[in-house]
Amino acid sequence: MRRYPVLDRAQRYAAVVLAHRRGWVDRAIFLLNHGDYLRDYSLRFPLAERARVLRDARKAGIDPAWAFAIIRTESAWISNARSGADARGLMQLLPGTAAQLARRDDLPWDGAASLDDPSVNIALGTRYLRHLADRFGAQWLASAAYNAGPAALRRWLDQRATLAPDV
């Protein structure tokens, strides 16, 4: 088993800054997963693909901060991320969902591999967020549907129709 040296606080921070400057924001995020760095917001919550996210969020009519938060949570900015459920790319879209969105909105689609392309993934993901917000009527519900799926959210809502949303 290969052993790596333990970095002290200054070395860890230097590694984070270097990773961030090189565009390895996922590594910066994971290195900062420590209580000492809670206020280093620009490093912990990077705005990679900033222009693209801003443009596509505006086109979809959603708050760009929501799109940035989804990307940070779902993939930590790893453009070729894969989940156990086969969700792919920055916004962790399922290929079937992405294909439906692309057809509906006449967006480029060249199969599941195209979800590794940030331009395709962000365009589809921001439109999917808009679709879910329209369908469920609230951003917090749309976020739950995005993460767990619309069917799971519908089931939860049916089971707990009287539960306050802040519980």
pLDDT confidence tier of residue 166, bands split at 50, 70 and 90: low
Could you tell me how far CA 165 lies from the centroid of its own chain?
22
Residue 49 among the catalytic residues: no
Q: Would you say residue 71 has pLDDT above 70? A: yes
Give the pLDDT mean for 52-56: 98
Give the C-alpha separation, 142 to 29, whole Å.
25
* Span 144-156, pLDDT tens digits: 999 999 999 999 9
pLDDT at 127: 98
Tell me the pTM: 0.84
* Span 108-120, pLDDT tens digits: 899 999 999 999 9
* Catalytic entry in 26, 49, 56, 74: 74
Give the C-alpha separation, 164 to 1, whole Å.
50
Q: Would you say residue 167 has pLDDT above 60? A: no
Structural domains of the chain, with CATH: 9-44 (no CATH), 50-159 (1.10.530.10)
Q: Would you say residue 61 has pLDDT above 90? A: yes
